[in-house]
Amino acid sequence: KTAMQIVEIMKVMEARHPVVMATKVSAEKSAEIQAALPQATYFEMARICAIQPSVPLAIRPGKLSILTAGTADLPVAEEAAVTAELCGSQVTRLWDVGVAGIHRLLSNRHVIDQSDVLIVAAGMEGALPSVVAGLADCPVVAVPTSVGYGASFNGLAPLLTMLNSCATGIG
């Protein structure tokens, strides 16, 4: 969509909803959108342009934690985190805790234990969601990313790993 198409859509939606967001928005497009809609906020890492209510939404019950295997997974994870926050969820971010440095994940075990839902983004071979699900007693949403080197095949390898996980509670 063009920036002006997004502006028109956001105007219509703003009249009906307290939160309006557009995803996959470049910085350049966001500048055009914000020129037409100064109330819009741009979340650069998440690539989200959003209109938020002047009064924050009520905080939803439950704790949502979002984990990434590596820093290359951050844009996908931030998109999920910002989306959840815009919807009123409390979000804990735990970045760069993949299996290549499993000690970083294990030293944050309390985050897993205190969470009601975990979203786990990983590229490469996509092993982190299985490891997290083996430690967690809550649902784990596995999110493959198309980053990584070697034989990740633009996200196919992590997707297949996540689909074939033997850990319970993964979606």
29: in domain:
yes
57 in a structural domain: no
> What does the buried/exposed string (b/e) look like for 114-140 if buried means 16 or more CB atoms within 10 Å of the residue's CB?
ebebbbbbbbbbbbbbbbbbeebebeb
Does one domain contain both 75 and 159?
yes
Are 67 and 47 contained in the same domain? Answer: no
pLDDT (tens digit, 9 = 90+) per residue, 20-56?
Answer: 999 999 999 999 999 999 999 999 999 999 999 888 7
Q: Is residue 69 part of a domain?
A: yes
Asked whether 115 and 84 are in contact (CB, 8 A), the reply is no
Q: Which own/partner contact pairs does 34-42 have at CB distance under 8 Å and 24+ positions apart?
A: 36/3, 36/4, 36/7, 37/7, 37/10, 37/11, 40/10
pTM to 2 decimal places: 0.89
Residue 11's identity, in one-letter code, is: K
> Are 117 and 152 in a shared domain?
yes
Name every residue whose Cβ is closer than 8 Å to that of residue 91 and which is 6 or more positions away in sequence: 64, 65, 66, 81, 84, 85
Residues 15 and 78 reside in one and the same domain: no
**Shared-domain flag, residues 67 and 37:** no
- What is the C-alpha separation between 27 and 131, in angstroms, rounded? 35
Q: Looking at residue 149, what is its pLDDT?
A: 65
Distance CA 36, CA 69 (A): 37
CATH of the domain at 150: 3.40.50.1970
Same domain? 22 vs 76: no
Q: Which amino acid is at 13?
A: M
Q: Do 45 and 68 belong together in one domain?
A: no
Q: Which domain holds residue 107?
A: 63-164
Number of domains in the chain: 2
Decide if 171 is inside a domain. no
User: Which amino acid is present at 40?
Assistant: A
44 and 12 share one domain: yes
Assess whether 8 and 74 both reside in one domain.
Answer: no
Same domain, 72 and 102: yes
Q: What is the pLDDT of residue 170?
A: 82
Q: How far is CA 9 from CA 17, 49, 63, 89, 103, in A?
A: 12, 12, 31, 25, 45
Residue 33 lies in a domain: yes
- Portion of the chain with pLDDT greater than 90, in percent: 69
Q: Is 136 within 8 Å of 170 (Cβ atoms)?
A: no
pLDDT tens digits for 121-138? 998 888 899 999 999 999
pLDDT tier for residue 161 given thresholds of 50, 70 and 90 = confident
CA distance 92 to 70: 16
